[in-house]
């Protein structure tokens, strides 16, 4: 792994009480907590440079990166801290770091730096390692955050912004799917899409969280392999955005990157309406999310006035084919979204 961590024996205490932390050679000040989930916490941090004179422009992270595209002008970053309790969790974090380091694309969130340290479990702490992952920070939040805010205000993205946001997700995903071997993200959803609003331009969309990303193509040749895949998917692929073949996997089948295309179709619907096309069943007595997905029971809510063009609804349906073998590939999706952008751009 090559993970190193310097001078950080008191890192845990620093994170929890404020203060400075080090990731390898670089120093950061904890500003505030941005979020948490499971055993992970995300903090807003600010890089502290030893020399703040004009000669120090190439110090700190800037010294490490020739390409400064993802480096912050004001030194602000997001620091993800993961508490690791066993070897299985440790391997998952190492895999996330490895996969995150594979990709380089403006619409995929880059991992800027990382470190893993061993810790001694105590009565208060049951974990034996802590991982620290440093990313660019996007303070406008995720597509999910934006959807909640917009719903409260009864606002919708314009047709043009819907398509531009979606086009950027497609570009990032195409980079993953065209890898050799192709990688599937496996958890495309509004909560994993960062949105940055830009004056006079469509929002910037960046796909994040590669903790579930894996080589996409798998041959399932037995019932036990099919059940293993279903169990893995239930832990790593969010239910409202999970493809039918991951709910009910055939004993002899090929699974490929088009599981992501299903999630992408659900996410396009969510860019328009704020939720997955199948979440409505969760509010119904006796409703089954799995049945709604497997049977592709989509409901179209009342949209903006005027409503979204029917071509967008048809685009969603094209991606939500229950049989993966007839679902389009990402290259087909990109061609089609470009046609829609030229047709519906303001």
Residues 131 and 161 in one domain: no
Q: Give CA angle at 320 (315, 324), nearest 5°.
A: 125
Residues 80 and 164 in one domain: no
The answer to whether residue 266 sits within a structural domain is yes
pLDDT tens profile 322-338:
999 999 999 999 999 99
The answer to whether residue 6 sits within a structural domain is no
Residues 131 and 151 in one domain: no
Residues 95 and 160 in one domain: no
d(CA 41, CA 37): 7
pLDDT band for position 59 (50/70/90)? low
Contact status, residue 143 vs residue 83, Cβ threshold 8 Å: no
Residues 132 and 169 in one domain: no
pLDDT tens profile 115-135:
998 888 777 778 889 999 999
Single out the residue in 136, 168, 193 at which a domain terminates. 136
The answer to whether residue 5 sits within a structural domain is no
Residues 115 and 255 in one domain: no
Residues 153 and 290 in one domain: yes
Single out the residue in 84, 107, 136 at which a domain terminates. 136
The answer to whether residue 313 sits within a structural domain is yes
**Which DSSP state fits 282?**
G
Contact status, residue 145 vs residue 247, Cβ threshold 8 Å: no
pLDDT tens profile 299-309:
999 889 889 99
Instruction: Determine the pLDDT at residue 25.
Output: 86
Residues 305 and 161 in one domain: yes
d(CA 242, CA 267): 11
The answer to whether residue 4 sits within a structural domain is no
Residues 207 and 237 in one domain: yes
Instruction: Determine the pLDDT at residue 127.
Output: 84
| Residues labelled catalytic | 187
Residues 269 and 150 in one domain: yes
Domain of residue 25: give its range: 11-136
Instruction: CATH number of the domain at 287, please.
Output: 1.10.510.10
In the chain, how many domains are there?
2
Residues 23 and 98 in one domain: yes
Instruction: CATH number of the domain at 127, please.
Output: 3.30.200.20
d(CA 140, CA 344): 26
Single out the residue in 103, 136, 169 at which a domain terminates. 136
The answer to whether residue 226 sits within a structural domain is yes
The answer to whether residue 105 sits within a structural domain is yes
d(CA 238, CA 66): 36
d(CA 254, CA 233): 15
d(CA 195, CA 145): 9
pLDDT tens profile 74-122:
899 999 999 999 999 999 999 999 999 999 999 999 999 999 988 887 7
d(CA 148, CA 275): 9
The answer to whether residue 1 sits within a structural domain is no
Residues 110 and 190 in one domain: no
């Amino acid at each position: 792994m090559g993970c190193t961590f310097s001078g950080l024996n008191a890192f845990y205490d620093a994170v929890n009480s404020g203060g400075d932390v080090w990731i390898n050679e670089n120093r950061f000040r904890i500003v505030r907590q941005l979020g948490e989930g499971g055993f992970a916490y995300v903090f807003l941090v600010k890089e502290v440079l030893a020399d703040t004179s004009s000669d120090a422009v190439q110090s700190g992270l800037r010294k490490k990166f020739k390409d400064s595209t993802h480096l912050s002008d004001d030194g602000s970053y997001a620091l993800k801290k993961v508490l690791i309790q066993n070897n299985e969790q440790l391997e998952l974090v190492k895999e996330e770091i490895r996969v995150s380091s594979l990709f380089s694309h403006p619409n995929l969130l880059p991992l800027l730096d990382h470190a893993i340290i061993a810790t001694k479990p105590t009565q208060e702490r049951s974990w034996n390692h802590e991982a620290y992952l440093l990313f660019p920070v996007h303070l406008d939040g995720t597509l999910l955050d934006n959807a909640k805010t917009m719903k409260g205000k009864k606002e919708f993205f314009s047709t043009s912004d819907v398509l531009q946001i979606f086009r950027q997700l497609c570009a990032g995903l195409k980079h993953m799917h065209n890898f050799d071997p192709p990688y599937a993200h496996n958890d495309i959803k509004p909560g994993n899409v960062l949105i940055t609003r830009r004056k006079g331009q469509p929002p910037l969309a960046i796909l994040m969280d590669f903790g579930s990303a894996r080589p996409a193509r798998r041959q399932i040749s037995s019932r036990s392999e099919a059940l293993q895949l279903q169990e893995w998917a239930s832990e790593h692929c969010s239910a409202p955005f999970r493809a039918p073949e991951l709910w009910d996997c055939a004993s002899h089948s090929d699974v490929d990157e088009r599981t992501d295309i299903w999630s992408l179709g659900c996410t396009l619907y969510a860019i328009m309406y704020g939720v997955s096309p199948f979440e409505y069943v969760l509010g119904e007595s006796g409703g089954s999310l799995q049945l709604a997905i497997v049977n592709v029971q989509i409901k179209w809510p009342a949209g903006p006035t005027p409503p979204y063009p029917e071509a967008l609804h048809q685009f969603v349906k094209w991606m939500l084919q229950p049989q993966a073998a007839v679902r389009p590939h990402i290259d087909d999706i990109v061609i089609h979204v470009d046609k829609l952008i030229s047709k519906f751009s303001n």
